[in-house]
């Protein structure tokens, strides 16, 4: 009896430790923001990613095999992976950098029978099934017809071959194969092994997320507008082939349904710039033309930092100390408008030449 009580107490003590060590499919993951002057190049030379902190790295310890019974007992001597995701404010692209090790790289099949990094993205968190075989109307409309009725439209599934040999780098599971073409997608690899050998593979790519990817093509599609601190749905799995068959289906969502139902994707946040890449004070501004005939404009301060005063020079001899002033010009012209801001950190200036034009 005493032994049983001791065992129960030991179990209670260890349970929090075990809980902490398990991967958490419900956690929020982060997407690193690259500075606009340090956009990563897709060239197979990966030093662009050195600036990304390790806190953004998502490794094997976060994955679970949900098809072959391995669970979280994944052996890095068999397969290992690290993924970092990035973005650039103003560009509607997601950037990926992968470092992988496999004890048996399988990539000589001309179809799907090879090692695959399978990526699913839902840019506007629309959720729900997006693959034709799981369409809610499959009992009313044939699966063959549903192929052209939203198959892969509101979320997209990329089968990225790792590595690729004698075929396109990607298979799109949907009716929009055009999304794997440049400029919507671009990929570069670096490896020094042959089929069936072990070794390390590095890969970087960008992809374009779509709120709606249309079978008709890009002109009928809606690109996801990536904005700072917004969330997107994103997840991935690795299909590990060692010979003739897949032996592991390791995924971040801990749910096989992630490959066809966006409800099961992980939540990722588009992060602001890391503090070391920001200035303590930076001036910027924008404007709206309220009435062209009256030459009337509304100006908006978009400066960052601890700012205590503003001075606008409208270029026509008039000025304002308001943060968001409106101004009417008295004549036609092409105007240089200057905003000067000040605060405890000093002073910052932004001039825009001939953005403001009156008739």
43 and 161 part of one domain: yes
Contact predicate 245/8, CB 8 Å: no
Cβ–Cβ contacts within 10 Å for residue 347, how many?
A: 13
* Residue 5 confidence (pLDDT): 44
338's CB contacts (< 8 A; 6+ apart) are 312, 313, 315, 349, 350, 351, 352
Domain boundary among 227, 259, 275: 275
265 φ, ψ (degrees, to nearest 5): -75, 160
Domain boundary among 257, 275, 293: 275
263's CB contacts (< 8 A; 6+ apart) are 127, 128, 257
Q: What is the mean pLDDT of residues 147-156?
A: 95
Task: Specify if 7 maps to a domain.
Answer: no
Q: What is the pLDDT of residues 295-318, one digit of tens each?
A: 999 999 999 999 999 999 999 999
CA distances from 180 to 19, 55, 119 (A): 39, 29, 12
161 and 304 part of one domain: no
204 and 352 part of one domain: no
Q: What is the pLDDT of residues 161-201, one digit of tens each?
A: 999 999 999 999 999 999 999 999 999 999 999 999 999 99
Quickly state the pLDDT bin for 11 (edges 50, 70, 90).
very low
* Residue 25 confidence (pLDDT): 67
216 and 86 part of one domain: yes
| CA nearest neighbour of 207 among 341, 340, 89, 96 | 96
Q: What is the pLDDT of residues 236-254, one digit of tens each?
A: 999 999 988 899 999 999 9
DSSP 218: G
Q: Which letter, b or e, does each residue of 175-205 get, where b requires 16 or more Cβ atoms within 10 Å of its Cβ?
A: bbebbbeeebbbbebebeeeeeeeeebbbbb
Using alpha carbons only, what angle is made at residue 263 by residues 257 and 269, rounded to the nearest 5 degrees?
120
174 and 240 part of one domain: yes
Task: Specify if 177 maps to a domain.
Answer: yes
Task: Specify if 264 maps to a domain.
Answer: yes
Task: Specify if 10 maps to a domain.
Answer: no
Quickly state the pLDDT bin for 17 (edges 50, 70, 90).
very low
Query: What distance in Å separates the CA atoms of residue 338 and residue 246, rounded to the nearest whole number?
Result: 62
The boundaries of the domain holding residue 333 are: 279-358
268 and 283 part of one domain: no
Task: Specify if 233 maps to a domain.
Answer: yes
Using alpha carbons only, what angle is made at residue 237 by residues 18 and 186, rounded to the nearest 5 degrees?
135
Concatenate the DSSP letters of all residues of 254-300 into one string: S-GGGGTBGGGPEEEEEPPPPGGGS-S-B--EEEEEEETTTTEEEEE
50's CB contacts (< 8 A; 6+ apart) are none
Task: Specify if 222 maps to a domain.
Answer: yes
Query: What distance in Å separates the CA atoms of residue 324 and residue 318, rounded to the nearest whole number?
Result: 15
- DSSP, collapsed to helix, strand or coil, labels residue 8 as helix
DSSP 163: S
95 and 230 part of one domain: yes
Domain boundary among 224, 254, 275: 275
210 φ, ψ (degrees, to nearest 5): -125, 135
Task: Specify if 2 maps to a domain.
Answer: no
What is the percent of the chain with per-residue pLDDT over 90, rounded to a whole number? 91
Domain count, the chain: 2
Q: What is the pLDDT of residues 250-269, one digit of tens each?
A: 999 999 999 999 999 999 99
Distance of CA 67 to the CA centre of its chain: 26
**CATH number, residue 160:** 2.60.40.1190
**CATH number, residue 337:** 2.60.40.10
| CA nearest neighbour of 82 among 187, 263, 236 | 236
Which helix (H) or strand (E) segment holds residue 154: the answer is none
Backbone angle region of 350, left / alpha / beta, with phi > 0 → left and psi within -120 to 50 → alpha = beta
Task: Specify if 13 maps to a domain.
Answer: no
Query: Where do we find the tokens 């009417």?
Result: 328
287 and 256 part of one domain: no
* Residue 13 confidence (pLDDT): 42
pLDDT at 21 over 60: no
79-88 and 210-212 strand pairing = unpaired
* Residue 7 confidence (pLDDT): 42
Query: What distance in Å separates the CA atoms of residue 42 and residue 182, rounded to the nearest whole number?
Result: 12
């Amino acid at each position: 009896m005493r032994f049983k009580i001791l065992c129960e107490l030991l179990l209670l003590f260890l349970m929090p430790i075990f809980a902490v060590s398990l991967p958490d499919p419900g956690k929020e993951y982060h997407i690193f923001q690259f500075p606009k002057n340090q956009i990563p190049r897709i060239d197979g030379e990966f030093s662009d990613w050195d600036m990304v902190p390790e806190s953004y790295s998502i490794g094997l310890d976060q994955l679970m095999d949900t098809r072959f019974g391995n669970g979280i007992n994944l052996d890095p001597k068999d397969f290992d992976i690290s993924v970092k995701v990035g973005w650039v404010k103003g560009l509607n692209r997601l950037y990926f950098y992968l470092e992988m090790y496999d004890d048996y790289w399988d990539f000589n099949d001309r179809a799907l029978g090879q090692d695959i990094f399978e990526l699913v993205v839902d840019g506007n968190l629309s959720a729900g099934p997006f693959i034709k075989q799981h369409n809610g109307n499959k009992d009313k409309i044939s699966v063959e017809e549903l192929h052209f009725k939203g198959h892969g439209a509101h979320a997209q599934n990329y089968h990225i071959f790792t590595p690729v040999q004698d075929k396109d780098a990607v298979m799109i599971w949907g009716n929009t194969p055009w999304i794997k073409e440049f400029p919507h997608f671009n990929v570069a690899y670096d490896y020094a092994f042959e089929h069936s050998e072990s070794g390390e593979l590095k890969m970087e790519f960008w992809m374009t997320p779509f709120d709606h990817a249309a079978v008709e093509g890009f002109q009928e599609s809606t690109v996801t507008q990536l904005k700072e601190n917004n969330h997107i749905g994103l997840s991935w799995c690795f299909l590990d082939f060692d010979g003739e068959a897949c032996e592991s289906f390791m995924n971040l969502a801990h749910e096989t349904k992630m490959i066809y139902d966006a409800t099961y994707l992980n939540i990722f946040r588009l992060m602001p710039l890391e503090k070391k890449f920001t200035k303590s004070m930076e001036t910027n501004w924008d404007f709206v033309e309220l009435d062209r005939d009256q030459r009337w404009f509304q100006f908006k301060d978009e400066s960052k930092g601890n700012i205590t005063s503003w001075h606008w020079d409208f270029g026509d001899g008039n000025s304002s100390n308001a943060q968001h002033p409106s101004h009417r010009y008295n004549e036609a012209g092409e105007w240089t408008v200057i905003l000067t801001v000040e605060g405890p950190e000093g002073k910052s200036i932004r001039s825009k030449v001939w953005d403001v034009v009156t008739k």
